[in-house]
Chain A
Amino acid sequence: MADPVQLSTIEAQKENIIPLPGGRSARALAQSILASEDTETQNLDHAAAREAFENELKTADELDDPLDPYLRYVKWIQEAYTSGGGRILERTLYRATHKFEDSPEFKNDPRYLKLWITWVQTFSDAPRESFAFLARKGIGAGLALYYEEFAAYLEAQGRKTQAEEIYEMGIERNARPVERLRRKYDEFVARLAANPPDANEPSSPAVPIVRAALGERRAEAEPRDPQAGASGFGAEGQAPQKKKNKMMVFSDGPGASAPVLPEETDRGGGWDSITTLADRKKENVDAPRPWAGEILKQEGGPAPKKEKLQIFRDPGALQAQSQQQPALTASGKPRRPERVFAAFELVYPHGESQDECDFDEIRARARGLLNVDWSEMRREDEHRRQRQKQLDRDRAKAQQEDEMMMDMLGSRHAVVEKEPEVVQDENAKFVTKSTVVTLALSSSPKAKPKKLKKSSNMQFSTEPTMTMHTRAANDEIYSIFNQPFVAQDDFAASGKKQDSSDEEDDDDEDETEQTDTMFSQAGHSVAGKEEEEEEDQPDMLKGAFTDDEDTGFTAVDVDMLRKKHAEDDEDVPTEELEQLQIDSENIIPEELMDEDPHTIYNQRGSRHLPFMTPIVEQTESLPPSTIRGRGRRKSTTTPSKPGRAGGDEPLIDFRASPIQEVSHHDILPDKDIEMGGMDEKENVPEEPLEKQKRSKPTDTLLISLEDLEPKGKAKEVKKPTNNALQPRKQPPPPSSKQDDSGSAINDAQCNPMDPALRDVILSKLPQPLTTFKGFYDNSSQPSKRTDGIRKYIRAITATGKDAPKVIPSQPVIGLENGEISYTIRKEIGKGAFAPVYLVENNMAGMYDTADGEEEEDAAESATIGTSKRCELEAIKMETPVSTWEFYITRLAHMRLGVHRATQSLVNVHEFHLFKDEAFLVLDYFAQGTLLDLVNATASPNNAMHTQSGTMEEIMVMFFTVELLRTVEQLHEKGILHGDLKADNCLLRLQHVGGNASNSNDAEWSSAYDPHGGSGWDKKGLVLIDFGRGVDMRNFRKDVGFIADWKTDKQDCPEMREMRPWTYQIDYYGVAAVVHSMLFGKYIETTTVTGDNAPGRPKKYKIVSGMKRYWQGEIWTEMFDVLLNPGMFVEGEHGGVMPITKGVRRIRQKMEEWIVANCERGVGLKGWLRKVEEGMKKRK
């Protein structure tokens, strides 16, 4: 041992000495440290030594032990470089280990394993993987060292379970020296016992099980959906197979040495080699490139555009979603998602592949206008236009005739009075006459008839011309005529005079019918166009004539009408008359002086019939039910009258002496019946009397009288007690026999709306309800149509997300085996029990075919209530069923007859009774209700809005007059409406003049005519909803009603105070309607203070105050009367309600005022036109 090592030298450098597992030689250390002081020489030395080693390595393959030079080289490096060999050592170790990794002879060579372990411990960036790699290669598999080192490493990493596994694996494999391994394992177990493994340790095997082949793996991962793939992540941390867009395959640069792929085909062992981290990461390192052309990315710049990851969507779910809400649609560059505000499911009803639907189409479909057969309508249109041309021609003709007639009328008007009783004969004669005329017509060329007619008109009438027109045309002509046709009577008379020799047997309808046919034929030849009609005509006529009910009614009607003349409006103001006379050029026969002028206006000669009978055809405006049919019926029956039942005499008397107001009190029952059928209806209101049965009703009545009278008397005993409750002065019970005779109900107090009570009334009808025209009794079968209709209505009215995707098709109500059918359009009135629907009358075409004449015939063939049918009608659906409304509406129509007020009653066309529901077919008025008008006026957005927010006074007064007139008449005829309110008053602003399409209203004078002239009869109201109607004639004269329903401010005070009431209900109703029009709010009343002393009846007034400029006097009086009708009974007939006279007085005052003021400012006509326009086709 030469010079000992100077420890001080080592000491000074000890921080730089890397410890070696086997320790270092102090000498070598000292030498190298000393040498390092002279860096240059040391470097040279090292370089020389390394070169020597390298050279040795180059030939190492030729050595017996090729590992040896590596071992020595490594050893030298470790010694020479005290501070660690760094790159040199790493590279050497790498070369050494990797050179022999596949050489089986070194697999269990501890020296080789040590090299590996040195490399793993010093340089491996993932020791565990490296150990696993060794295990896979089988290096050190039989050496305890490998297991000890691997386990130690794992233990140090906290993977004790895995360490234990490694130990066990080693022991199992008997790795040598197994004894030492066991000892180490025991020590490990001891440590493990002291420090048990954490539960969170990874439990995967220490040496991962290698998948058999990646290829198979890929096959497994066939479903390319990424989420499923996520579960198959490789244990090696292999990245999931992301779908990357065109990832460039990395390839080494040309300079780099291509990694040598091992040639072994067995690649089941996992990696073929394990290399340095840098080597494995080389794909991630950018190869150095020249800077030229490179772009430096700025930080904070816009994010690179990336294709968005598509969100997976279930196509089915998507569809469902789009049905619920407006579709979410991503557009090209979805910076923000867009939602298209459109109903995609409607726009694309067949999916996107097919043609989409325009919004207009959707709208049309929703309204049910899409699949309408317009061509049909167009044809009609065409037809109409042709007719229009013809009409123009005819109009000229008519005008001439008109003039002619004027002349004649002037000269003949005196005749009538003298010979009224010969009317019948006249009639017949005229029939013949006109036949002759028309025949003549038919044979003459088109142009000639005019002339010819003209001349014939000198003697006869204008009648024949009528035959060739549509109703519209007719009306047109009528309006041109616009003058009382009363004159026809004169004609009749005069005609008779002239042709008295021509008397014919007037016995029958056949005669008339024949005439009809001839007329129409004449019409054809003149018109020259409407050949088809000929076929239809006979049918229509037949229909008109064969119906028993029809004719039955006729008789009644005739009588009724006659009587009406005398009865109506006894106190027509003189000015009215004057005006009339002017209109008719002073030709009004005295007989008719007292008639309601309206009646006069509306008298038009029926084309079928000799005009003599004064009441005949009606213009369009009258609720046609009665009128239209009536003229016809009358015409057919009148001639036959004398032969039957001897009813003629009184009739003629009646006519001869214009009896004013033949009220029921004065007429004996049987006369009553024969006279008018008006009063007899107290008991048999609907009785479709046939003339053959004329005497029959009398019997019935008499029987019922006998039946009822004692009962009535018996009841009367009770009366005083009831009367005691009434503060109002009760008139003494009329003693007249007749008064009680009509009443079906003899209770002094009752609830008139009581269903049971109504049943009694209905059951006592002499003619069962089922025989009424238009009554369809299917009460045995259920209808079950409600649900379908409701569903549809819900569907079309639903908003928001409730709205169904598809609007169901419009329900069609087919009735009577499809003979009648209606298509529901929409709901126009809501009501829990009785919704009202707007319907299309699918049979409208049947009544109203393209040909004008048939139209007329159809109209005439119809009976009461089923006269003019329109395309649009209303159906009121009643559940639970009630026949009352049908009955009372019809009754009201019959009672009022042709009075002008009839126009103000809604028409009931049909009634379909089922077990579970009932359909009431009504006229439809599109202009809405008074309430709508009030609301429209109040709404600032509406064109009708006025500054005050309420209706113009003159307009209010106009409607009030209409209302009063109607109520007046109803009351006079013993009918209560019972439910008067603004929403039960429909506006009836019809076209004046025949041409409905062109409403220039030239014929509508701006000067108000209270009697309905100059077109004013076309403007007014229509009362609907008679469901609470009461026929007072079913009750005793002194009856008092008690309401059993909950009352509110809209009910009359009597009702609210539980006092009995009768007509008050309607008076108060009128007051309420007027109030809402005037003030735009519901009526509120209060008692007049200081006037309600005990014992005195309370007096009511309205709370709201009048505007100064209003006609306060009139209004106050009106409210006074209407709210306190009981105080104004004086002067009324019998001193009891109804206070018809009082009401009429007020109405006349109003009329006067309107007449005086109607042309001021905008004028009443102007206001009404505004309303007409504003409410037109309102949705």
Chain B
Amino acid sequence: MSNNFEVPTTISDAISSVNYSPVQSTNLLVSSWDQTLRLIDTHAGTSGRELLQIDSQAPLLDACFAGSDGKTAVGGGLDQAVKFFDLSRGQLTSTLSSHSSAVKSICYNSELSTVISGSWDRTLHLHSTQSQSHTSSHTLPHKIFSLSTIQNKLVVAMASRSIHIYDLRNMSEPFQRRESSLKFMTRTVRCMPNGEGYASSSIEGRVAVEFFDPSKESQSRKYAFKCHRQPEGDVDVVYPVNALSFHPQYGTFASGGGDGVVALWDGVAKRRLRQYPKYPASIAAMGFSHDGRYLAIASCNGFEDGKETVSNQENKLFIREMGDNEAKPKSMG
């Protein structure tokens, strides 16, 4: 079975994203509300240590590695800027562009070496990592909540349950415009590693799995399921599903909810593989390492109820080491 341990950190506020390096499977990029971007070696010593800490001006809402060497990163947050960090030198190198509202989500497409940032100002900005410059902007109908990209596809989850799928090679028009299969606000969208589709989660304890292929046959494969809920008397309390992460090899995925539970799903067999014991607080972000051996889990007091939890703040980072077959779908034996 898997091994779960906590990485002691100095993170003093909610974590907004965790991303493993595309190269080293122990280097984790963590952005958080305490205005810092950290690079943590999750397996240094007994329980990991912080390699790097770069202060930002404002709380960071998202960050990711920009480039396939794991030496550069981009981040964005409330200060509306898309920032480019040089991790080898441990500093901010440049500001790629500025939105007119907070940068909510940021992602990097390795095939096109493009950094895409989405903001509450309803715009997408595309940047080239080679020239470290802002290449284009695109206005969308709603606030952008989550971005995910795979191959040449970009999935943009927006407010009002709107989802646009772009072909990054042709950004003039969305490739597809869709409405979320879920009833309420979309929290996260993540593309399948095989590029066939994506999973999206909402605040009402549901995850939808959909496919890019517009053919009827493919579309009929889409489904949604319920998760992250706890019975309370006659009522099911359903929690927001804040985080999704696909296993890079097996295509199974993990979901993390406001209830502090992490579950592992086999999207093909439509089965739950595992559900892990509850974490101390809401799961804010998750990420598999590039080799799928580790799952980083950020557990922080969420803001689902609109309240700042003053006492007993939990801002913790856990690493779950995946057993050999732990995330393997049953169908693969």
- Name A382's closest neighbour in chain B (CB-CB): B95
Instruction: Count residues of B near A (Cβ-Cβ below 8 Å).
Output: 60
Whether B57 lies near A331 (C-beta < 8 A) is no
- Name A326's closest neighbour in chain B (CB-CB): B305
Point out the residues of chain A lying under 8 angstroms from B258, CB to CB: 341-342
Stretch at the interface among A403-411, A673-681, A1170-1178: A1170-1178
Point out the residues of chain A lying under 8 angstroms from B8, CB to CB: 943
Whether B307 lies near A799 (C-beta < 8 A) is yes
Point out the residues of chain A lying under 8 angstroms from B205, CB to CB: 338, 340
Contact for B240 among A346, A359, A374, A803, CB less than 8 A: A359
Chain B positions 33 through 69: 1 when the CB is less than 8 Å from some CB of chain A, otherwise 0: 1110000000000000000000101110100000000
- Name A1176's closest neighbour in chain B (CB-CB): B12
Chain B positions 227 through 242: 1 when the CB is less than 8 Å from some CB of chain A, otherwise 0: 0010110111111101
Q: Is A378 an interface residue (CB 8 A)?
A: yes
Using A359-B303, A363-B14, A803-B307 as known contacts, say yes or no to A341 and B238 having CB atoms under 8 A apart. Answer: yes
- From 96 to 123 in chain B, residues with beta carbon under 8 angstroms from any chain A beta carbon are 98, 102, 104, 120
Q: Is B16 an interface residue (CB 8 A)?
A: yes
Docked Cα-Cα span, A354 to B55, in Å, equals 35
Chain A positions 367 through 396: 1 when the CB is less than 8 Å from some CB of chain B, otherwise 0: 101101011011001100000000000000
Contact for B235 among A337, A369, A941, CB less than 8 A: A337
Contact for B10 among A338, A355, A382, A1173, CB less than 8 A: A1173
Whether A339 lies near B238 (C-beta < 8 A) is yes
Contact for A339 among B59, B160, B236, CB less than 8 A: B236
Q: Is A1024 an interface residue (CB 8 A)?
A: no
- From 285 to 331 in chain B, residues with beta carbon under 8 angstroms from any chain A beta carbon are 302-308, 310, 313-314
- From 222 to 262 in chain B, residues with beta carbon under 8 angstroms from any chain A beta carbon are 229, 231-232, 234-240, 242, 258-259
Contact for A355 among B142, B184, B234, CB less than 8 A: B142
- From 332 to 361 in chain A, residues with beta carbon under 8 angstroms from any chain B beta carbon are 332, 336-343, 345-347, 354-361
What is the interface of chain B mostly: helix, strand, loop, or mixed? Answer: loop
Q: Is B148 an interface residue (CB 8 A)?
A: no
Using A342-B240, A343-B304 as known contacts, say yes or no to A364 and B59 having CB atoms under 8 A apart. Answer: yes
Chain B CB count within 10 A is highest, among A326, A331, A374, for A374
A273, chain B: closest CB distance, angstroms: 53
Docked Cα-Cα span, A364 to B79, in Å, equals 11
Chain A CB count within 10 A is highest, among B34, B102, B185, B238, for B185
Docked Cα-Cα span, A1006 to B288, in Å, equals 39
Using A358-B145, A359-B302 as known contacts, say yes or no to A378 and B95 having CB atoms under 8 A apart. Answer: yes
Q: Is A797 an interface residue (CB 8 A)?
A: yes
Whether B160 lies near A356 (C-beta < 8 A) is yes
Docked Cα-Cα span, A674 to B78, in Å, equals 56
- Name A363's closest neighbour in chain B (CB-CB): B303
- From 195 to 242 in chain B, residues with beta carbon under 8 angstroms from any chain A beta carbon are 203-205, 229, 231-232, 234-240, 242
Whether B57 lies near A340 (C-beta < 8 A) is no
Q: Is A1179 an interface residue (CB 8 A)?
A: yes
Docked Cα-Cα span, A362 to B159, in Å, equals 14
- Name A378's closest neighbour in chain B (CB-CB): B81
Contact for B12 among A355, A369, A1178, CB less than 8 A: A1178
A28, chain B: closest CB distance, angstroms: 74
- Name B141's closest neighbour in chain A (CB-CB): A355
A335, chain B: closest CB distance, angstroms: 9
Q: Is A157 an interface residue (CB 8 A)?
A: no
Whether B183 lies near A360 (C-beta < 8 A) is no
Whether B143 lies near A355 (C-beta < 8 A) is yes
Point out the residues of chain B lying under 8 angstroms from A797, CB to CB: 310
Using A336-B231, A338-B236, A1177-B35 as known contacts, say yes or no to A378 and B98 having CB atoms under 8 A apart. Answer: yes
B264, chain A: closest CB distance, angstroms: 22
Docked Cα-Cα span, A359 to B240, in Å, equals 10
Docked Cα-Cα span, A347 to B303, in Å, equals 11
Using A338-B229, A359-B302, A374-B81 as known contacts, say yes or no to A381 and B57 having CB atoms under 8 A apart. Answer: yes
- Name A337's closest neighbour in chain B (CB-CB): B235
Whether B304 lies near A341 (C-beta < 8 A) is yes
Docked Cα-Cα span, A1124 to B308, in Å, equals 46
Q: Is A206 an interface residue (CB 8 A)?
A: no
Using A342-B203, A358-B145, A943-B8 as known contacts, say yes or no to A366 and B308 having CB atoms under 8 A apart. Answer: yes
Whether B59 lies near A369 (C-beta < 8 A) is yes
Whether A364 lies near B102 (C-beta < 8 A) is yes
B164, chain A: closest CB distance, angstroms: 14
B269, chain A: closest CB distance, angstroms: 22
- From 158 to 211 in chain B, residues with beta carbon under 8 angstroms from any chain A beta carbon are 158-160, 183-185, 203-205
Contact for A358 among B79, B104, B235, CB less than 8 A: B104
- Name A943's closest neighbour in chain B (CB-CB): B8
Using A355-B142, A377-B79 as known contacts, say yes or no to A343 and B306 having CB atoms under 8 A apart. Answer: yes
Q: Is B86 an interface residue (CB 8 A)?
A: no
Point out the residues of chain A lying under 8 angstroms from B240, CB to CB: 340-342, 359
Chain A positions 855 through 877: 1 when the CB is less than 8 Å from some CB of chain B, otherwise 0: 00000000000000000000000
A936, chain B: closest CB distance, angstroms: 11
- Name A347's closest neighbour in chain B (CB-CB): B185
Q: Is B80 an interface residue (CB 8 A)?
A: yes
Whether B159 lies near A356 (C-beta < 8 A) is yes
Point out the residues of chain B lying under 8 angstroms from A372, CB to CB: 58, 78-79
A938, chain B: closest CB distance, angstroms: 14
Whether A339 lies near B237 (C-beta < 8 A) is yes
Point out the residues of chain A lying under 8 angstroms from B259, CB to CB: 341
Whether B238 lies near A338 (C-beta < 8 A) is yes
B176, chain A: closest CB distance, angstroms: 20
Chain A CB count within 10 A is highest, among B16, B232, B259, B303, for B303
- Name B99's closest neighbour in chain A (CB-CB): A374
Docked Cα-Cα span, A366 to B120, in Å, equals 16
Chain A positions 307 through 326: 1 when the CB is less than 8 Å from some CB of chain B, otherwise 0: 00000000000000000001
Using A337-B236, A339-B235, A340-B203 as known contacts, say yes or no to A1179 and B313 having CB atoms under 8 A apart. Answer: yes
Whether A1177 lies near B13 (C-beta < 8 A) is yes
B114, chain A: closest CB distance, angstroms: 23
A989, chain B: closest CB distance, angstroms: 13
Point out the residues of chain A lying under 8 angstroms from B33, CB to CB: 363
Whether A361 lies near B80 (C-beta < 8 A) is no
Docked Cα-Cα span, A374 to B3, in Å, equals 42
Docked Cα-Cα span, A551 to B278, in Å, equals 65
Q: Is A203 an interface residue (CB 8 A)?
A: no
B123, chain A: closest CB distance, angstroms: 14
Contact for B234 among A336, A997, A1173, CB less than 8 A: A336
Chain A positions 550 through 584: 1 when the CB is less than 8 Å from some CB of chain B, otherwise 0: 00000000000000000000000000000000000
Chain A positions 1111 through 1133: 1 when the CB is less than 8 Å from some CB of chain B, otherwise 0: 00000000000000000000000
- Name B143's closest neighbour in chain A (CB-CB): A355
Chain B CB count within 10 A is highest, among A331, A332, A998, for A331
- Name B144's closest neighbour in chain A (CB-CB): A358
Whether B13 lies near A374 (C-beta < 8 A) is no
A–B pairs, 19, beta carbons within 8 Å: A336-B231, A336-B234, A336-B235, A338-B236, A338-B237, A339-B235, A346-B306, A358-B145, A358-B185, A360-B303, A361-B102, A366-B308, A367-B308, A370-B102, A796-B308, A798-B307, A997-B55, A1176-B12, A1178-B12
Q: Told that A341-B259, A358-B185, A1179-B308 touch, could you supply 14 new A-B pairs with CB distance under 8 A?
A: A340-B203, A341-B258, A356-B185, A358-B145, A360-B303, A363-B14, A366-B307, A378-B79, A378-B80, A378-B98, A797-B310, A941-B314, A998-B91, A1179-B12
Q: Which 6 A-B pairs have the closest CB atoms?
A: A343-B306, A355-B159, A363-B303, A1173-B10, A374-B79, A346-B306
Residues of B near any A CB (own CB < 8 A)? 8-10, 12-14, 16, 33-35, 55, 57-59, 61, 78-81, 91, 95, 98, 102, 104, 120, 142-143, 145, 158-160, 183-185, 203-205, 229, 231-232, 234-240, 242, 258-259, 302-308, 310, 313-314
Residues of A near any B CB (own CB < 8 A)? 326, 328-329, 331-332, 336-343, 345-347, 354-364, 366-367, 369-370, 372, 374-375, 377-378, 381-382, 796-799, 803, 941, 943, 997-998, 1173-1174, 1176-1179
